[in-house]
Structure 1
């Protein structure tokens, strides 16, 4: 198989949108709606600011007791957010961070 050069993301933000039957989970707190709002805010930024930052939904991140949660890699910074606005600020800060 030929080797392909893949440019890594500067930051990759994973937002848990997991839902579990009868047990607390991030989607119980509106994680999907918060993610959608953060994606729209990110798209409104100039490309140069958001280039190299990827925002993705994820399944369970194993932090249900702190939910809803998100994590940035490679820094490993975690957030437990209380609102869509708080998640959006977290995402926009990641876009503003220096390389």
Structure 2
């Protein structure tokens, strides 16, 4: 496996009037994760990328981290550093954001 961890961030767009992560800052999160991983020199170990629908629309923006399969919801750009430090680097779930999904 090339990457130790993989972060899939929903940036899906749905029809107008339906909740979706794309409307809720999904692409802002993708950019922020990529920036933080790059700043910490982690881009070869951890990958963050845009994903389609994760079926967690009501919790958007949502993301999932593999290989653990941990889902997070209502994530903001202010949460990214903490997710990187706590979960991606230290393998501790950020319980306040975790979705029991």
- What TM-score, normalized to structure 2? 0.76
Q: 1:76 maps to what in 2?
A: 69
- What TM-score, normalized to structure 1? 0.77
Gaps of 5+ in 2: 92-101
The structure number with the bigger radius of gyration is: 1
Kindly report structure 1 stretches of 4+ aligned residues shifted beyond 3 Å: 91-95
| C-alpha distance after superposition, 1:3-62 (max 9, x if no partner) | xxxx34211110000011121100111110122122111100034xx5421111101011
Q: For the aligned residues, what is the CA RMSD? A: 1.9
Report the number of matched residues. 90
With CA pairs under 8 Å and 6+ residues apart, which has the higher RCO, 1 or 2? 1
Q: Shift in Å at residue 63 of structure 1?
A: 1.0
Q: Cα 1:72–1:82, aligned 2, differ >3 Å: closer, same or farther?
A: closer
Gaps of 5+ in 1: 1-6
| Equivalent of residue 83 in structure 2, options 67, 87, 90 | 90
